[in-house]
Amino acid sequence: MMITAMSRVVGWGHQLLGEVLRAGDFAIDLTAGNGYDTLMLARAVGENGSVLAFDLQSQAIEKSANRLQQEAVAVHLVDGPGLPLPSSGVSLVSASHAELDAWCDLAPRAIIANLGYLPGGDKGLITKPESTLVALQTGCDILMPGGRIAIVVYSGHPGGRDEAQAVDHFFANLNEREFEVLRLEVANRPQAPFLLIAGKIE
């Protein structure tokens, strides 16, 4: 099957976050994985901006660190919550995104998450609705007015459907006076990943 850029919803997520991100901003990646989304955020905020990126798997932290360093992005492996985060570059955190509130006292202008399993890694280690929903709620609370949160959701793997329903429900119930919410999907491919993006009204 031919998949063109039009139906790659990850790219639309990058574009819609890139529209609001400025040099010097702070942004968050809830699922660093292979580092592609973190790299996009790091490029958008520039060398004076900062990114906080989470992943549970050491393999993902290593892959992300390598990718970022190859692209000359400053990387910090951060040990524990409660300390001030580096004011520039990417801080990689080996922890669950459910702990976001303990790690972050800055308001991000953009938050991204690409759910599911690590491509090329353990397909049994997936994001779970319980922790995803905690991270999304914290993310929506701390997001800067005018900022956006973009989530790519997969329903095709075991466990994916339950998480997709939970995340859909979460976004559909965001207060319309506080958030505008967009859902982008490939209408003729029901198993394809879809994008949910919420913009916090100023």
Give the ranges where 25-89 is alpha helix by DSSP (H).
36-45, 58-70
Residue 200: φ, ψ to 5°: -80, 125
- 91 sits near ligand SAM (criterion: CB under 6 A): no
In whole angstroms, what is the distance from residue 20 CA to residue 75 CA?
Answer: 23
Question: For the window 16-35, what string marks contact with ligand SAM as x by the rule CB under 6 A?
Answer: ---------------x-xxx
Contact 60, 101 (CB under 8 A): no
CB closer to ligand SAM, 25 vs 55:
55
- 139 sits near ligand SAM (criterion: CB under 6 A): no
- The least CB distance from residue 46 to ligand SAM, in Å, is 19
- 131 sits near ligand SAM (criterion: CB under 6 A): yes
The HSE-up count of residue 140 (CA atoms within 13 Å, CB side) is: 22
Q: Which of 7, 44, 51, 54 binds ligand SAM (CB under 6 A)?
A: 54
Burial label, 110 (beta-carbon count in 10 A; 0-12, 13-18, 19+): buried
CB closer to ligand SAM, 50 vs 127:
127
- 57 sits near ligand SAM (criterion: CB under 6 A): yes
| Residues at the contact surface with ligand SAM, assessed by CB under 6 A | 31, 33-37, 54-57, 60, 96-98, 114, 116, 118, 125, 127, 131
